[in-house]
Amino acid sequence: MEIGRGEEMMKRKKASGILITFSIMFLFWILLSCLFDAFHLLVGIGCSATVALTSHDLLVKGRSKKVLLKSFQLLLYILWEFWQIVLANLDVAYRILHPKMPIDPRVIEFETTLRGDFALVTLANSITLTPGTITILVAPETGKFWVHAIAKKSADSLLVDQTMQRKVADVFMEWKHGVDMT
């Protein structure tokens, strides 16, 4: 019994999706654990393989033509987000240790052009992971976010700079009004 050409391509796409998901998960495992003994590496391989086999289609959709580009953008975004977390930790520590405690809490709201579920969740989680900000509510229909910020600087980075939104749009290729450009 010969497998049709379409089925063969689908299997290749699925396999590449699993491989890309495994690679990202294993790299993430190594970055978080920083343990390189045989036991921890084997556990990391097992966990990464399990996640890749069960949920590869959440990270890498088989119908996408730009899987490698999206994966590379995601890797760059994760590294950028780690750096933002470090910077935000330093900022919050400064505010706490400063004798006058320059804290100016506020709730801000803004709209984003992102509309994809994963893009909105990624942005919301990225905001919450960054010390000094927490996502309160997201309205997916309108792309409206409500965020609590510890100070004006944290709020301005979301309202004025919008780097995080642009980087999430790059990962999910939602450059124009939430449209997936794949």
Confidence at residue 182, expressed as pLDDT on a 0 to 100 scale: 40
Cα–Cα distance list, 115 to 91, 126, 144 (Å): 31, 16, 10
Dihedral sign, CA of 16, 21, 22, 26?
positive
**Domain map of the chain by residue range?**
5-63, 69-172
pLDDT in tens, the chain (182 residues): 455 677 877 777 788 888 888 998 899 899 888 888 999 999 999 999 999 998 877 766 655 567 677 778 888 999 999 999 999 999 999 999 999 989 999 999 999 999 988 899 999 999 999 999 999 999 999 999 999 999 998 888 888 888 999 999 998 888 754 444 44
First to last CA, the chain: 34
Q: How far is CA 128 from CA 7, 60, 85, 122, in A?
A: 41, 24, 10, 10
Proportion of the chain in helix, strand, coil states, percent, rounded to 5: 65, 10, 25
Are the C-beta atoms of residues 169 and 177 closer than 8 Å to each other? no
Token pair 């980075």: residue: 157
Measure the CA–CA gap between 114 and 172, rounded to whole angstroms: 9
Q: How far is CA 176 from CA 28, 32, 68, 139, 181, in A?
A: 30, 34, 21, 19, 8
Secondary structure element (H or E) that encloses residue 7, with its range? helix 5-33
Question: Looking at the DSSP assignment, which residues form a beta bridge with residue 106?
Answer: 149
Helices marked H in 60-180 — which ranges?
A: 67-97, 117-129, 152-156, 163-172
pLDDT value, residue 72 = 83
pLDDT at residue 55, as a whole number: 83
Look at the block and give the residue holding tokens 């750096």.
83
Under CATH, what is the fold of the domain 69-172? Answer: Alpha-Beta Plaits (3.30.70)
- Measured CA to CA, the distance from residue 84 to residue 105 in angstroms comes to 19
Adjacent-strand bridge partners of 133 = 149
